[in-house]
Chains A and B, each alone.
Chain A
């Protein structure tokens, strides 16, 4: 099956610093990738849709200047949390539907645990 990787798997940073999270589709191309965040014991909330070659689409209430998304290629999307604060601590998960499929199936990365001190 299709594999999506994320790097790093966990990161601890100081308040005010920026953190970059990578999402890669390892064996397929994805023109679209999705970024979710998940707080402890809660569901996944879609943050934004990353589009290769164009601007990301953000969900209502998500600050686009704080969560910068760059879809650099058909296999890589990055999420940069700028000027991170403790309330940004969360589990960030990306997903990608293979561009050759129209059945809406998405493959998820293993997630990145961000802790802001």
Chain B
């Protein structure tokens, strides 16, 4: 079984400050890792994904994440946040099962950006 832990339920940060949202996972096999963003009353939008290759993954809106296999982590970072980045962020892990894959989500981190 696989699981995802997002240690911070809320992260308050001032505009233009850097931010890191933490994500740790557990799985007995190789996995694919994702970060999604959800704005109020909307579906999920993919920020970035790690499938294989370079452990530093760059996504949309200036976000990036680093896959660390030894620490089973996939933390999301942005060097300078904007007010518009205020949203809920979900880390997810998936495992291919032969026909399709199931995504397991973390509990989410609310990023609150203020002036």
- Residues of A at the B interface (CB closer than 8 Å) are 4, 6, 31-32, 34, 42-44, 46, 49, 51, 91, 93, 95, 97, 102-111, 113
Contacts and interface: CB of A to CB of B under 8 A. Distances in A.
B96 A44 contact: no
Given A42-B107, A104-B32, A113 B41 contact: yes
B21 to A, nearest CB: 14
A32 B46 contact: no
Contact of B90 (A4, A43, A105, A113): A43
A34 to B, nearest CB: 7
Contacts of A51: 99
B42 A97 contact: no
Given A42-B107, A43-B90, A43-B108, A104 B96 contact: yes
Contact of A95 (B32, B41, B51, B103): B103
Contacts of A104: 32, 51, 94-96, 101, 103
A108 B39 CA distance: 13
Contacts of A44: 44, 90, 103, 105
B100 A49 contact: yes
Contacts of A105: 34, 46, 49
Closest 7 CB pairs of A and B: A32-B100, A104-B101, A104-B94, A108-B44, A108-B43, A110-B43, A104-B32
Contacts of B32: 103-104
Contact of A102 (B36, B95, B96, B105): B96
Contacts of A113: 41
Contacts of A42: 107-108
9 contacts: A6-B43, A44-B90, A44-B105, A95-B44, A104-B32, A106-B101, A108-B45, A110-B42, A111-B42
A104 to B, nearest CB: 4
B102 A46 contact: yes
Contacts of B103: 34, 44, 46, 95, 104, 106
Given A43-B107, A105-B49, A111 B99 contact: no
Contacts of A4: 43
